[in-house]
Amino acid sequence: MSSKVISVLICLFIFHLLAAGSVAGCKIGVYEIKKGDFSVKITNYGARIISVFLPDKNGKIDDVVLGYDTVKEYINETRYFGALLGRVVNRIGGAQFTLNGTLYKLVPNEGNNTIHGGPKGFSKVVWKVSKYVQDGPSPYITLTYFSADGEEGFPGAVLASVTFALKDPYKLSVVFKAKALNKATPINLSHHPYWNIGGHTSGDILSNVIQIFGSHITLVDKELIPTGEIAPVKNTPYDFLKPHTVGSRINKLQNGYDINYALDSTAKMKPVGVVYDKKSGRMMNVKASAPGVQFYTSNWDKSKKGKGGFMYPPHAALALETLILCIKLIVSDEVSNLADQFGRQVFFCSHAGKIGDVVLGYDTIKEYRNDTSYFGAALGRVANRIGGAQFTLNGTHYKLVANEGVNMLHGGLKGFSKVVWKVRKYVQDGPSPYITLTYHSADGEEGFPGDVVVSVTYALKDHYNLSVVFKAKALNKATPINLSHHPYWNIGGHNSGDVLSQVVQIFASHITPLDTQHIPTGIISPVKNTPYDFLKPRKVGSRIDKIQNGYDINYALDSTEKMKHVAIVYDKKSGREMDIKATAPGVQFYTANWVINTKGKGGYVYQPHSALCLETQGFPDAVNHPNFPSTIVTPGKSYVHSVLYTFTIKKY
């Protein structure tokens, strides 16, 4: 038995209904599933996605997949627009194979080869509507097809199904399943939307920026049949490990891209690719459990007539065909969530050249919304704790929103980690890629005085240098501002276990001791002869047993320079080292003490001490301790906090 599952996540789609028809007496229809302003339409002829509508950054609605106006055109077409592909997607050389000692000859439909299941592949049959719930909390449609023994030459009867379902706001799940009923048989299901996220009438996709997370391709012969060789993409036009425009090197290829990439990730749900259209502001992120993805750039030699009579030029769309697929299309204010999610993923080589994600986190934005550990989050208006959730400023007593007992932590229930930031600027690649996010915090938000405009810029400066710059301006009242962020670092890899064997050095000879509620007492104490002394490099776990639960303390940095040396972390097994500098006077050292049985990326379960945090910041509760460096920003004055992470790989 073979069971294949595919899931697709898509945001903000509206569809047009097409006319019904029939093939060989079987009724063909178009079916809508709808959730609020999100709707998807599918035809049961070839189980096809026939159109996808969503807004651009200015709110303009466009259809972002190529296709036709009538079912008749889909019946007669040869491009597989939006089609389900099977029994075996892609090509089978010589239209034959041997299985369990038996040679099976298939029906060729591309020269001597079989493509996408043959002339009567799963894209050319009428599927039965098994279940259909049009709207409500969980709208879905399930289509089924019985493929007989010997169909197109394949052995054995197969029962296949596909379910299109709206799971959460702006998420479309597509699940393929298949069961071999009586004989062993190859099954490899996929589907074939032609994506132009600038809009299907916007011309070619050569200016789209794409990143593909595959460092190897499967080489093909002149008939596009794999030779069996898996070759690296480095120094070839196929290298999209870093983002490039689709057209940047397409002239070095005959016709265009039509090649399978072997994906690098070994996770169950692998990152496949990211596509970005600057003009519309739309971005598509693809993940899959499949080991490969076919990248195809619509390489026809002349324009094809499509929806509304529009003539699709060569390279009018791109296809990313995987077996198990997750796509997110996020625009407008929602794109900040995606950008924030990207900010919570840091991929970095080890000394063996292995790419690893070195921060803890989740697979979906929904999980970040429900998160209480602040994985990767920006923290504010005031990071860390404020005792009693109150303070007095210029003679006025302010009562804040408590969210940790009687105290406030990381800005309250609606701190800066729980709001949607606006994407102000975004440069995905080139010599200085960066993204700037902004947020307006209103007077009275969580009890704080005055309006504040804040921004954060994430930028890649040099090789393995990540810069994070926080800025804020108090518009009309004096207010405390202490911005930071909360990556959970495990430079051995987020799924490598605990960090107790990693070596850390913190350039601070004093800490701010705490009471039983983790509120600073106001004293500044030396670390000498205590378990908090990391002035010389030591393993994180060397003395952690002398502290209840683990480290969670603010260090007063020794340096008086503007850009201070904060800490160095080293992981011997991977060879990775992280060096941190910042303009803040303090750093909170936390060893993930309360991360307990937390299901994270790829289903990996994080446990206590599975990461460490080095949150550069002003001193905690400084607003209630006049001997601490002030965090008060007055109207018209600007606040800036810069952090620089430098990553290196040690060969010893």
**Residues labelled catalytic:** 486, 615
Q: How far lies 256's CA from each of 82, 85, 206, 227, in Å?
A: 20, 22, 10, 19
Element (H, E) at 105: strand 102-105
Query: Which residues is 581 bridged to in the sheet?
Result: 565, 644
Closest alpha carbon to 369 in 332, 409, 337 = 337
**Polymer length in residues for the chain:** 652
Query: Which residues is 259 bridged to in the sheet?
Result: 295
Question: Longest C-alpha distance within the chain, in Å?
Answer: 89
Query: Which residues is 565 bridged to in the sheet?
Result: 581
Coil, strand, or helix at residue 619? coil
Q: How far lies 633's CA from each of 189, 421, 448, 451, 479, in Å?
A: 58, 21, 12, 11, 6
Q: Cis bond leading into 381, ω under 30°?
A: yes
Which residue type is seen at 299? N
For residue 631, which phi and psi values (nearest 5 degrees)? -115, 10
Across the chain, how many H-helices and E-strands are there?
3, 55
Cβ atoms of 615 and 590 within 8 Å: the answer is yes
In angstroms, how far is CA 606 from the centroid of its own chain? 19
Token digits of residue 518: 């983790």
For the chain, how big is the Rg over CA atoms in Å?
A: 28
Closest alpha carbon to 439 in 450, 451, 453 = 453
DSSP letter assigned to residue 340: H
Per DSSP (E only), the strands in 208-281 are 209-212, 216-220, 226-232, 244-245, 258-262, 270-276
538-539, strands of its sheet edge to edge: 422-427, 434-441, 452-460, 465-474, 638-649, 576-582, 564-570, 503-506, 538-539
Rounded-to-integer distance, Cα 251 and Cα 239, Å: 14
CA angle centred on 615, ends 609 and 618, rounded to 5°: 145
Rounded-to-integer distance, Cα 387 and Cα 409, Å: 9
Rounded-to-integer distance, Cα 77 and Cα 87, Å: 19
Neighbours of 619 (CB within 10 A): 25
Closest alpha carbon to 417 in 615, 587, 640 = 615
Closest alpha carbon to 65 in 221, 275, 251 = 275
Q: How far lies 268's CA from each of 177, 260, 372, 492, 602, in Å?
A: 17, 19, 25, 19, 6
95-103 — which CB contacts under 8 Å span 24+ positions?
95/153, 97/186, 99/155, 99/184, 99/185, 99/186, 100/184, 102/155
Residue 531's Cβ-count burial label (10 Å; 0-12, 13-18, 19+) is: middle
